[in-house]
């Protein structure tokens, strides 16, 4: 387990990162990548969408281009404060402070669940993916963007010592173990590193 796959360490990390997050983020996760990920989803304008690990609201902003019923959750109050400055606390987005592993929502509450830049900090990714499947309606979509595993074995070891990195095979294993079907993966990234991220979209099985 990487040092940032610990909730207390991650909270301290984001306390300071939140001050510069929106300046640094475009070099790793930009609007073109976000639009490419959004294109992998079927979102209707009245769909209920949950953004897990919403941070300062970069993914949330993209989701609002597709539906006005967006809910954002994050464990870091410092990240949420940045999001509140952009959108307000209640309109047009409903924000919650909470844990991705224990989502504070009823079963089948959302049509779509989105999470970008959060899975790398989850201590138990499969359990978290299961809880995301719990809150999405049967047949609903779940999309997760995370860091692609570096090619270099040395870089891979260094990366894994910090947080979770994974490839298509590992993503497929995690989603299947969590009970998903129709699993698709796509690598994406900025021009200097086009495979820096891996995006997975899958469905909760129809009942």
Tens digit of each residue's pLDDT (9 = 90 or more) over 89-106 = 888 999 999 999 999 999
Q: Which of 82-86, 115-119, 159-163, 170-174 has the lowest mean pLDDT?
A: 159-163
Tens digit of each residue's pLDDT (9 = 90 or more) over 104-139 = 999 999 999 999 989 988 989 999 999 999 999 999
β partners of residue 200: 144, 185
Query: Residue 65: pLDDT above 60?
Result: yes
Asked if 79 contacts 56 with a C-beta cutoff of 8 angstroms, the reply is yes
Sketch the domain layout of the chain as residue ranges: 7-203
Q: Which of 3-12, 38-47, 133-142, 187-196 has the lowest mean pLDDT?
A: 3-12
Average pLDDT, integer, range 19-26? 58
CA-to-CA distance for 19 and 55, rounded, in angstroms?
12
pLDDT band with cut points at 50, 70 and 90 for residue 159 = very low
Query: Residue 5: pLDDT above 70?
Result: no
pLDDT of residue 161: 43
CA-to-CA distance for 207 and 193, rounded, in angstroms?
40
CA-to-CA distance for 147 and 10, rounded, in angstroms?
16
Q: Which residues touch 196 (CB under 8 Å, ≥6 apart)? A: 28, 147, 148, 188, 189, 190
pLDDT of residue 151: 61
Q: Which residues touch 38 (CB under 8 Å, ≥6 apart)? A: 62, 63, 65, 66
- Of the chain, the end-to-end C-alpha distance in Å amounts to 35
Rounded mean pLDDT of the chain? Answer: 85
Fold of 7-203: Rossmann fold (3.40.50)
pLDDT of residue 165: 86
Question: Which of the pair, 22 or 127, is modelled with greater confidence?
Answer: 127
Query: Residue 36: pLDDT above 60?
Result: yes
């Amino acid at each position: 387990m990487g040092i940032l796959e610990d909730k207390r360490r991650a909270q301290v990390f984001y306390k300071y990162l939140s001050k510069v997050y929106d300046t640094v983020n475009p070099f790793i996760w930009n609007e073109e990548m976000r639009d490419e990920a959004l294109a992998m989803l079927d979102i209707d304008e009245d769909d209920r969408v949950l953004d897990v690990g919403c941070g300062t609201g970069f993914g949330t902003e993209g989701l609002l281009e597709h539906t006005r019923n967006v809910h954002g959750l994050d464990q870091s109050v410092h990240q949420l404060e940045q999001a509140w400055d952009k959108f307000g606390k209640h309109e047009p987005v409903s924000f919650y402070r909470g844990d991705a592993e224990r989502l504070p929502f009823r079963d089948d509450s959302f049509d779509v669940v989105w999470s970008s830049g959060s899975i790398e900090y989850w201590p138990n990714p499969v359990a978290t993916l299961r809880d995301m499947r719990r809150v999405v309606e049967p047949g609903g979509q779940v999309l997760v963007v995370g860091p692609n595993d570096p090619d270099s074995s040395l870089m891979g070891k260094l990366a894994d010592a910090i947080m979770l990195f994974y490839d298509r095979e590992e993503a497929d294993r995690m989603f299947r173990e969590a009970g998903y079907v129709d699993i698709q993966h796509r690598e994406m990234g900025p021009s200097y590193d086009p495979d820096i991220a891996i995006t997975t979209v899958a469905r909760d099985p129809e009942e």
